[in-house]
Amino acid sequence: MSRLAGQRIVLGISAGIAAYKSAVLARLLKKAGAEVRVVMTEGAQAFITPLTLQALTGEEVRTSLLDPRAEAGMGHIELAKWADIVLIAPATADLMARLAAGMADDLLTTVCLATRARCLLAPAMNQAMWSHPASQHNAATLVEMGWQQLGPDAGEQACGDVGGGRMLEPEDIIKALEAALSGHFPAPGALPLDATPEHDNHAPTPDAFMPAGGETHAGALAGHHVVITAGPTREAIDPVRYLSNHSSGKMGFALASAARDMGARVTLIAGPVTLATPEGITRINVICAVEMLEAVNAALPDCDIFIGCAAVADYRLADIAEHKLKKVPGSAALTLNLIENPDIIASVTDRECPPFTVGFAAETRELARHAHDKLVRKRLDLIVANDVAAPGLGFGADDNAAVLYHLEPDQPEVPVTSHTLSPRAKQDLASAILVYMLPLYHGHQPMRSPVCS
């Protein structure tokens, strides 16, 4: 049986071309066993008629705050109290702006302001509108207020543009809604009126945010820019040879996809790998460590979270040979003069106002000791340590395992083993890492210097 069975859902529909999908969504909600009552904005009725939604739900569709018959019994308050869930799909840029401002100038926004139900929205707008700082600010504000954001998706849009901002397909919204009912998101309004949400003072216990069955927190990173490095670097010896390592980039690409699925704007800085670019992600290709550092520096000004997953070569040639080095007859050895490469992740944390920074430690022995050393030495907020000597895990493999470490603010000398993640597919591992990171990241924000705020 679906988790939606018996749930009382107010389906809000605002004025976007994606409103036609709401008819399918209403049908799927009813099919899952939910009770559905539809509230439409005035503009939504230009795209789909109330009669269509009434036929699909079997319930009268509400369209006006100033309906004398409904408001004789304070209908908007009764509707707000009736709902277990308020789901807005599509949620236009205008509606999100009004919700973020706390406006109550029509029936839908009034119900949202009056309800203590779980609130979710599925953004739908042109890619330029979605990427605009105002829209990103409003999305982030709504997430902070307790709204869960579903999507948006990326791809071709009705206007012909291509990019982020497409409303999720109704089937995907149903899946996300069922995932939300698994208990990993607290319902907005679940606290007493005089209570202060826990995240206002300090980060919740990270274990409370761990996903079940690979589920992720859709929208949890909406409005945030995540920069991720992935893959190896190649340090040229001559025109045909180079120094490198076995990194395939799979873990970094999985993290990029997971961050995108949580609503983040993602910049993926990739070394030389053969992986396809995940949809909806900005990819920057580099070859060597110096190029990767330049790309990172260019992406940092508006970066909120930096994840250094790349296996950056520690050394490069002091002088790259102009022509192919030839084997000298009778010579038993070749000496290469190596110099240290720039430490990319240390250069990020050395900034006056660094982003929340996650590092990786790929080790073959003494995992905890080396991870703790790197965590402290590079002033990381979180480190993901994995044993690359374990058979079938790590470099080149599709599966991986990890131990996550971070420091307590009041005990910086004591390492805290945050969580051990057992072997699993790298995509599932990436989701688990980011979900664990969320409360640490939100707890990091109040501690930032006023100069950085």
Annotated binding site for CTP: 308-310, 314, 324, 342-345, 360, 374, 378
**Region for residue 116 given its phi and psi (left: phi exceeds 0; alpha: psi -120 to 50; beta: otherwise):** alpha
Q: Please state whether the peptide bond connecting residue 152 to the residue before it is cis, i.e. omega within 30 degrees of 0.
A: yes
3-state secondary structure 360-404: EEEECCCHHHHHHHHHHHCCCCEEEEEECCCCCCCCCCCEEEEEE
8 A C-beta contact, residue 113 and residue 86: no
**At 431, which helix (H) or strand (E)?**
helix 426-444
8 A C-beta contact, residue 269 and residue 229: yes
8 A C-beta contact, residue 337 and residue 257: no
What are the structure tokens assigned to 453, written together?
């705020």
Which of 159, 288, 303, 353 is the catalytic position?
A: 159
What are the structure tokens assigned to 219, written together?
């929208």
Binding residues: 308-310, 314, 324, 342-345, 360, 374, 378
Question: What is the DSSP secondary structure assignment for residue 322, as one 8-state letter?
Answer: S
Helix (H/G/I), strand (E/B), else coil: 56: helix
Among 430, 435, 443, 441, smallest CA distance to 228 is for 430
**At 107, which helix (H) or strand (E)?**
helix 107-114
Q: Report the C-alpha gap between 156 and 293 in whole angstroms.
A: 33
C-alpha pair distances (Å), 431 with each of 37, 154, 257, 425: 33, 19, 9, 10
Among 300, 307, 271, smallest CA distance to 287 is for 271
How far is CA 181 from its chain centroid? 19
Helix (H/G/I), strand (E/B), else coil: 88: strand
8 A C-beta contact, residue 167 and residue 151: yes
Quick check: is 159 catalytic?
yes
- Per the listing, tokens 């006006």 go with 64
Among 294, 235, 250, 201, smallest CA distance to 428 is for 250
Active site (catalytic) residues: 159
